[in-house]
Chains A and B, each alone.
Chain A
């Protein structure tokens, strides 16, 4: 269990909403681009509510067994080993499935009975059916966007969740986050956020992705540690956004207008 509460800067009413959902046993879906604070938010809420947190990063090889559990070989015998989801159900913890659309289809079958009012987890391999403790909470996230067109979430899955949309915070908030996370001064934080917002304009036209809050925090960390600002921006803000060298140089020209 987390002892210190990770700092989270609220953007709207998400903290209150989450508390209500927890109390009324409603599962929550977080949508939003990469690096905008979803994971941080869940960590913060778990600590605040005093529940353990099990986080699973989903990928296209993640199977139901990875969530529920499997038999392992022990001392000449096999024994059952709970997966993270099962553990959370038994302990009344928060289970956070990051990028849930990436997981294999058979996983959604398990999530359905858990995320409606039945709140049960049938374990096929042991023949058990678990009833979730009242403190158990299912939280999933995904990044909407056309990249996920084919994967998308089925309406029957999506409509089992209370949904919260995240986005990169407003400039003043984002600057405060960057400053708090890295101890850089407000001026530098504001400048970095202005730069990030300039780069975000380029999304989809010149770039496939937006500069995330996470990258801003990285950049500020490097600068705070004494690394030269232009080089820090190149390494932590520009290069991670594109592989095209001409675009990198063009973005650096933008950077230079902020850090001359």
Chain B
């Protein structure tokens, strides 16, 4: 069996596949969810994803494209790599839909066996018969065939990890070529998303993660294809690019110093800047007035209707949350009320037997029981949220949708909530976007602000958390939930990267907890396990592996967290 799977794995399919039966075509999109679940369950690896092989192919270096095109496999290649199973966008090789579906499932079972431990039991036996079934169906159509026309091929050169990163190319003498590093998943994300349109290539990947985190350097700066042009154009778009290099350090650092826009184009400041302290772990001391936070309204916000693509979800969520309206609650032991409270009445009788004569508190009354809860949602709008999560949306689009659906859901309840966003550019410019105050209603205006908030700059989390804490502290509720939505670590241009930023954020969260707040973090950074447990505690955060799911998941999470 082992051997047989091995053969299948290594077999290149060289003849092109004809899409014979369009009426029975099954598209990957219809099956993506199912296949993803099967893949993750059988492989034992919860982080694996189903991807469309053609997407990857077109992202890949030219040589790969040619190889795939040359073998006629452009849309029918299927292979497994470290973090995904890549499948054709549709299958129509059988005249019955059911068999085409089976074909997808079969490829997924095969793909899950690669390096799996969980699969060891049971699957092998059943996959044999699964394969037999498909093969005999295929043979009845093509009697001369000896194998199925679709099989896994070896990963074509690991496309994602060898895509050159397009960067502003530095003067060659200052930067000798560095070898590509073992890629972190974050890097991969950056790399996959770097060139969808030539113009703004530079801004589209996770600058922050590449530049300001020493652990991700050295950066692969291979410059082939036509990156040079893109990079040059992108460089023109920048006001200043400072390239710093520390010869002594083992890794090189590059930082971009982005100027803030002119005041007349920038977001609109609200009130004076707010001075905030920051924790310096090296001195073990809180530096007072170290940061300045500016509350701002996003420029150009106009009242907006609920975006059409969210209407169905919003409707569903509202219905669900309305059903969870505060319960009417019976209060016992009242002086006056609608019904007799038997328990209190008996107590009253007992006391009387003992000769105590009290005011009879023997009624129960029904009152609306508001939940004594305020929630502040704080969303990271730093530049990294400008990177792409799919062909059509960036992180920031997902975050905006999430904010809107969150607000839709919560406004169907009576829980008090506020929405803010933040980013930063050095300690003097912590930008705090006021999207919805606790006292404001959620309406078209709020939606406008959410949609008008632009991603940019860095992530000085500590300051933003401290101000959010102040706002929550002023709330009258008993329970205060601080929900942080982010896609990465704290960082900023200055010392705030690495340990310093993490320690300050940790301190800000400790202060919040001391003030009775419950902080909770929702992240889409798949490296979060490395640092979030230390900041939020083991049960104080969740990772959403599929960023696109965030808008749907966030209200659900809120319901779970608050015990609805």
Measured CB to CB, the residues of A under 8 A from B are: 65, 70-73, 77-78, 80, 125, 144-151, 190-191, 194-195, 197-199, 201-206, 208, 246-247, 249-251, 253-254, 256-260
Contact = CB atoms under 8 A, between A and B. Distances in A.
Given A70-B343, A70-B346, 15 more contacts: A65-B343, A71-B343, A71-B346, A78-B349, A78-B353, A80-B350, A146-B557, A149-B540, A194-B120, A205-B46, A206-B37, A246-B33, A250-B34, A254-B37, A257-B126
Nearest to A255: B41
Given A206-B40, A251-B37, A191 B127 contact: no
Contacts of A125: 347, 350
Contacts of A249: 34
Contacts of A78: 346, 349-350, 353
B563 interface: yes
Contacts of B306: none
A149 B118 CA distance: 31
B41 A191 contact: no
Contacts of A72: 346
A199 B562 CA distance: 26
Chain A CB within 10 Å, residue with most, of B130, B349, B350, B539: B350
Contacts of B85: none
A99 B122 CA distance: 36
A204 B47 CA distance: 11
Nearest to A256: B126
The 4 closest A-B pairs by CB, nearest first: A260-B126, A250-B37, A250-B34, A194-B121
B232 to A, nearest CB: 41
A202 B41 contact: yes
Contacts of A246: 33-34
B481 interface: yes
Interface string B145-170: 00000000000000000000000000
B340 to A, nearest CB: 12
A201 B40 CA distance: 7
B44 A198 contact: yes
A254 B346 contact: no
A71 B348 CA distance: 10
A80 to B, nearest CB: 8
B27 to A, nearest CB: 15
Contacts of A247: 33, 37
Contact of A194 (B122, B542, B546): B122
A149 B373 CA distance: 13
Given A70-B346, A149-B520, A257 B109 contact: yes
Interface in B100-151: 105, 109, 118-123, 125-127, 129-130
Interface residues of B, number: 50
B34 A253 contact: yes
Contacts of B119: 198
A198 to B, nearest CB: 4
A78 B353 CA distance: 9
Contacts of A194: 118, 120-122
Contacts of A206: 36-37, 40
Interface of B: 33-38, 40-47, 105, 109, 118-123, 125-127, 129-130, 343, 346-347, 349-350, 353, 373, 479, 481, 518, 520, 539-543, 545-546, 557, 560-563
Contact of A202 (B37, B109, B347, B557): B37
Contacts of B47: 205
B314 to A, nearest CB: 19
A146 B123 contact: no
A216 to B, nearest CB: 15
A78 B343 CA distance: 11
A65 B67 CA distance: 76
Contact of A201 (B46, B126, B520): B46
B118 A257 contact: no
A253 B105 contact: yes
Contact of B520 (A146, A195, A254): A146
A39 to B, nearest CB: 22
A258 B122 contact: yes
A146 B46 CA distance: 19
A260 B129 contact: yes
A181 B563 CA distance: 33
Given A125-B347, A151-B563, A257-B109, A191 B126 contact: no
A260 B373 CA distance: 50
Given A201-B46, A254-B41, A71 B125 contact: no
Contacts of B33: 246-247, 250
A258 B350 contact: no
Contact of B518 (A150, A251, A256): A150
23 contacts: A70-B347, A71-B343, A71-B349, A73-B349, A78-B346, A78-B350, A145-B539, A146-B541, A147-B563, A149-B518, A149-B539, A150-B373, A201-B44, A201-B118, A205-B40, A205-B46, A205-B545, A206-B36, A254-B42, A257-B126, A257-B130, A260-B125, A260-B126
Nearest to A79: B350
A118 B557 CA distance: 41
Contacts of A144: 539
B561 A146 contact: yes
Given A146-B540, A246-B34, A71 B45 contact: no
B45 A201 contact: yes
B560 A147 contact: yes
A173 to B, nearest CB: 16
B126 A258 contact: yes
A73 B126 CA distance: 65
A62 B329 CA distance: 14
A108 to B, nearest CB: 16
Nearest to B133: A260
A146 B560 contact: yes
A253 B38 contact: yes
Nearest to B43: A201
Nearest to B520: A149
A150 B46 contact: no
Nearest to A149: B561
B505 to A, nearest CB: 19
B295 to A, nearest CB: 28
Nearest to A190: B121
A175 B318 CA distance: 43
A251 B546 CA distance: 19
B516 to A, nearest CB: 12
Contacts of B43: 201
Nearest to B121: A194
A195 B563 contact: no
A58 B545 CA distance: 34
Contacts of A258: 121-123, 126
A206 B560 CA distance: 15
Contacts of A197: 44, 118
B131 to A, nearest CB: 11
Contacts of B41: 198-199, 201-202, 251, 254
Contacts of B545: 205
Contacts of B479: 150
A251 B36 CA distance: 10
A117 to B, nearest CB: 29
A194 B130 CA distance: 19
